[in-house]
Amino acid sequence: MFSHLPLYYPAIDAIGHSVILTALVGLIPLAAFFVLLGAFKVKTHWCALISLVLSFFIATIGFSMPMPMALGAATQGLALGFMPIIYIIIAAVWLYNLTEASGRSQDLRAVFNNVGKGDVRAGALIIAFSFCGLLEGLAGFGAPVAIVAAMLVTLGIKPIKAAIVTVVGNAINVGFGAMAIPVTTAGRLGGQAPSYVANIMGHLTPFLATFIPLILVAVLDGKRGIKQLWPLAILIGAVTSLGHFVTAMFSYELTAVLASLLGLAAAYLFLRVWTPKTPEEYCDQVNPDAVPSRERVVLALLPYILVVVIIAFTKLWKLGVDIDKALKATDIKIPWPGVYGQLTDQFNAPAKSAIYTLQTLSNPGTWIFVSAILVAIIYAWRGRGTAYELPLKRGLGELPQTIYRLRLSILTIALVMALAYVMNFSGQTTAIGAALALAGAAFGFLSPILGWIGTAVAGSATSAGALFANLQSTAAAGAHLDPGILLAANTIGGGLGKIVSPQNLSIAAGAISQPGSEPEILRKVAPISVALLLVLCTLVFVASQGWLGFYMPLPVK
């Protein structure tokens, strides 16, 4: 029904034949979102809706995008919002809610307090940085934030603080998330070997990862926390950084997984021989006489053990059959009505981005759901006649209740994804990137900002790579810079942009059961995100000028 529509290729100078003016107009929906959210405290779903309407009018009037195509772009964004993103979030929060409904959340708190030597801050640091990084490396797509933020509340961290340390602690591993899909995407679309891009990332991320745990401690307990926990924070950061550096050189898909496991192991061993000075309000409140038995510990950890084991199996098993490849073979490719065939790339061919991939068995959310069902069955069986009784019917009944509690977050995420796709397909986001690329050699400093903006809009470092990888490589060629460094900058910058992504904020707000708290979270995480971004920009500029030649890896052809 849409075959009569004209072909459309996004123009980066659609407004007044000026790239700069076009970029400024393209920024309006994004600026409106953050101003309404941060300055005027408008509810997030209204911010998303207003920004979506603005982007729609800018696309159709300013960028001359046919209205049916703009509608098609919005609906494709909605589809991606629901599957896989919202699907994963619902599964992850339901999994956590089973722990809460069964009463085993107190046992879970006791486990992590024990690991942290009775210091709630230490336990929170380990969960927010290392455990969250492990989940990010395995699953990604919002699941780590949803699970970890809820866990931290259970541990005894105030909800807003729990959200802040989760989104900040997650950021450095986002580029290597979900088996390093963002790296693979950026490398392939940017014309560079993904292994080379990942290797550069592994040389750059340690400058940030080493100190992020200190930032988390500062958020948790200010100067006092830094003074009392800096040895643990530096150790976790340094060991994780070493894991990034080494793993990215030989198996980049496993970088976040192995680096986070090393950080977990280092923290556990260090806390066997070192005890932090803990203020009273952060002491373990669990009665020593009520330390859970081994079975209770296993059952409290069961949801997270199952998630890690099952997702690791689906992603990593290659013996006899490549499970990941087999599951991905069930994906359904859907040329999106109203967009595919009309939206073109620079070669006047149908844009592949207009093909929606419906993930079923390859979706991490499916396996989180499987984990939750297994947990519900086991909890019903082992809890019968005990204080932890959770009949299967009530456990399964937590699912619709979870969906109801997340309704505003679900609405917000769907609208944000619609906004992202209208901005992306119409050329609004590309125009912003093209304007930054005009900086020439100084683009080395600005390069990470593209990934930051792309992920802040779309909530996905993979999407930011798909959007800007070719632009990064083109700008690198024009400015005589190493495209691998700029692609790495785009991917790492995307992880830092996810800190302020509306989608990510909504996930965190839903996980801590405080929908509507996104403005407060944004105001507190935005300075951290921007500060880390400026450090990365400086680092990338230095590297792009060859001043770190002795340290950076050699190009891979």
Three-class SS of residue 421?
Answer: helix
- Judge if the upstream peptide bond of residue 84 is cis by omega within 30 degrees of 0: yes
Q: What are phi and psi of 283, to 5 degrees?
A: -80, 150
Nearest-angstrom CA–CA distance, 375 and 145: 20
Residues ≥6 apart with Cβ < 8 Å to 159: 153, 512, 513, 514, 517
How distant is the alpha carbon of residue 31 from its chain centre?
Answer: 21
Spatial neighbors of 128 by CB under 8 A, at least 6 apart, are 148, 152, 165, 166, 168, 169, 170, 216
The number of residues in the chain equals: 557
* Percent of the chain that is helix, strand, coil (3-state, to 5): 75, 5, 20
Question: Is the distance from CB of 204 to CB of 100 less than 8 angstroms?
Answer: no
For residue 28, how many other CB atoms are within 10 A of its CB?
16
Map residue 257 onto helix, strand or coil: helix
Global pTM reads 0.80
Alpha carbon distance 472, 465 (integer Å): 9
Can you say whether residue 516 is alpha, beta or left, with left for phi > 0 and alpha for psi between -120 and 50 degrees? left
Neighbours of 193 (CB within 10 A): 14
pLDDT at 227: 96
Start-to-end CA distance of the chain, whole Å, equals 45
Whether the Cβ atoms of residue 25 and residue 58 lie closer than 8 Å to each other: yes
- Quickly tell me which residue has 């390093």 as its tokens: 180
Per-residue model confidence as pLDDT tens for the chain (557 residues): 445 668 899 988 999 999 999 999 998 988 898 788 767 878 878 988 999 999 999 999 999 999 999 999 999 989 988 887 788 778 887 887 898 899 888 887 788 777 888 899 999 999 999 999 988 987 677 778 988 998 899 888 999 999 999 999 999 999 998 778 889 888 887 878 889 999 999 999 999 999 999 999 999 999 999 999 999 999 999 999 999 999 999 888 889 988 999 999 999 999 999 999 989 888 875 555 556 888 998 998 898 788 878 888 888 888 999 999 999 999 999 999 999 999 998 788 898 889 999 989 988 889 889 999 999 999 999 999 898 999 999 999 999 998 998 888 788 778 878 888 898 899 888 888 888 888 877 889 999 998 998 888 767 788 788 768 877 887 887 788 899 999 999 999 999 999 999 889 988 998 898 988 999 999 999 999 999 999 999 999 999 988 887 788 876 65
pLDDT at 1: 46
Predicted local distance difference test score (pLDDT) of residue 42: 83
The residues pairing with 357 across neighbouring beta strands, listed in sequence order, are 333
Cα(549)–Cα(32) distance, integer angstroms: 41
